[in-house]
Structure 1
């Protein structure tokens, strides 16, 4: 059996990826292990889904080294800025290679946050990164978000003991569905849009950084999960893997369409006003105090992050849902924030 370690299975991306893998005709040929912190969720994974849970922390290097040394494939969907997790993962996969003579596979989750600028919502960016252009990707400075982990992974691939692929999702949207979510194991919601909805609800109006002119890509969560599935399929195929980009040529953007931050702020403002929770159908600029309160002082959401998923689409990835669909989903996000606000005891998974 092919031994696969999935990190982040209780999260939004990881849960979605596992639910997609469950639909594969060869799913029964996988021996799937998952790192979790909760003994309760570990028991559910074992009893309901035949997943071998490993209870521990991704940041524990010896723990990660051991777990990764015992598998053929690691699909990492947890914290993409966790250097310790990356070091432990690579150390374990190196041990695996040394003991088997066969290069293990690492599919790591980064993010298009690695592309951001400092627009603060004041202008649309003009630089568009292409995942099929390794020279352009190599020009990104180490100071960019997620870049330190990405670079460590590229070194592992260059040292020839692992075949590494990096998926970079963007603004992910929609409520995730599937058996893990129904079982209460995985978090069904994204981060960016709910955070904006939560802040806007608290201030009583849709908000944006600056003038909201900055541009980001977007992707629907289940379509993103399909990208992981297609990349895994190609990496496992002797015919396809020989020409499949990995290492410095192994970037795969999880991006479908583009939107301006203003568009999201407008959809949130309209939903709040329609639900009797907003002052206006037009978004207003977050003040410095609000940025400090809601986003830890970061203007990250006002940045530009533009890309083309050329290499992802070459895998056969053909996502259909775009910005119009994303904006249509926002009312439900606002309703969920109102619902959670009425029940302070509600906790995110």
Structure 2
């Protein structure tokens, strides 16, 4: 069965239509639904993107397939009209097969998984060869690709714009996420897929989506909760170096609308917005000194009697390795979402929302620890 002008059409009706109408008309009829394949649908970003697609004005024309790990979540995804497939990013053949069936792929899982990216691209290439169409890949990277080795000791003047392609292309392949980004961009150049790379920054806020309500989506970010968890564990707020480094930020709800803005622009065709080497879209709507987050968290933790004093102390090298896997929390990453805003993306959460989000994040972390 398939959709025809919003109505299900039976196989018998298809047989009748085949006799009455030209096959090309039937191809158009079958293509009225947009098949979207999503990885990372149970994650903080991917779940928010899927929820935004489900509330899209054209959601009744979408056929959404999601790769998920847990069989326990199958019925719950089905209940909101999403077709789940059990698997992981390590299942190369599954990724390739699902991508080969999709008009659009939203890759919202591990931004550094080169093998998974290659599997998806192979599937999209097969789709192009079999259908003579050019599918779309919206890939998730991050402004971590811009980091330096400031170790918290200074703020850089170097600011990247998603309109300044030469500056972005000057980034070495050794930067986080960069190797996968380059593979995605190269695929667009080959012509079998149109690629769009979304680069969120420090994402904050506890996600509140239908998928969270169902219990199938992680509602928490990584960067700030890691800082909170480390501070709770050492019973004292912590800071990297002098805490002078700068990062952009974005609320999770604005991340979701960014995916929809890029998706809508991409669906207009190759001229809808920049793709390939001109298809970078930074996700940011504000900038903060990372040390200030440490300071606010230390004060809040002290008020909640979870810290010895209201001033953060410097993380040791051992602590940085233990809690963050290195010193990246002390890096600079400065970006401006100029291309993203040119296509109509209108983020509504400002820096004030970031500060307001910190206490609820601490309370949620404490509650999880006490559970």
- Which TM-score band (shorter chain)? over 0.9
Alignment of 1:281 with 2:313, yes or no, is: no
**1:77-156 correspondence to structure 2 within 5 Å:** 77-156=108-187
Superimposed CA distance per residue, residues 257-306 of structure 1 (whole angstroms, 9 cap, x where no aligned partner): 0001111101111110111111222211111221122123x001100000
**CA separation in 2, counterparts of 1:341 and 1:186?**
19
Consecutive aligned runs of 4 or more in structure 1 exceeding 2 Å deviation: none
**CA separation in 2, counterparts of 1:202 and 1:21?**
38
- The one of 229, 235, 250 equivalent to 1:198 is 229
**1:263-342 correspondence to structure 2 within 5 Å:** 263-296=292-325, 298-342=326-370
Alignment check: 8 A CA contact 2:243 2:330 kept: yes
Q: Normalization by structure 2: what TM-score? A: 0.90
- The structural deviation recorded for 1:243 is 4.6
- The structural deviation recorded for 1:50 is 1.6
Alignment check: 8 A CA contact 1:267 1:331 kept: no
Residue 47 of structure 2 aligns with which residue? 15
Alignment of 1:160 with 2:191, yes or no, is: yes
- The one of 36, 39, 43 equivalent to 2:68 is 36
Partner SS, residue 316 of structure 1: coil
Partner SS, residue 153 of structure 1: helix
Partner SS, residue 329 of structure 1: helix
**CA separation in 1, counterparts of 2:214 and 2:136?**
29
- The structural deviation recorded for 1:58 is 1.3
Superimposed CA distance per residue, residues 58-101 of structure 1 (whole angstroms, 9 cap, x where no aligned partner): 12222211110011100110000011110000000000000111
Q: Normalization by structure 1: what TM-score? A: 0.95
Residue 20 of structure 2 aligns with which residue? none
**CA separation in 2, counterparts of 1:120 and 1:15?**
32
**CA separation in 2, counterparts of 1:33 and 1:19?**
13
Partner SS, residue 168 of structure 1: strand
Unaligned runs of 5+ in 2: 1-32
Give RMSD over aligned pairs: 1.0
**CA separation in 2, counterparts of 1:203 and 1:248?**
44
**CA separation in 1, counterparts of 2:272 and 2:265?**
9
Alignment check: 8 A CA contact 1:45 1:53 kept: yes
Partner SS, residue 195 of structure 2: strand
Alignment check: 8 A CA contact 2:321 2:327 kept: no
Provide the aligned length of Structure 1 versus Structure 2.
339
Alignment check: 8 A CA contact 2:125 2:193 kept: yes
**1:255-266 correspondence to structure 2 within 5 Å:** 255-266=284-295
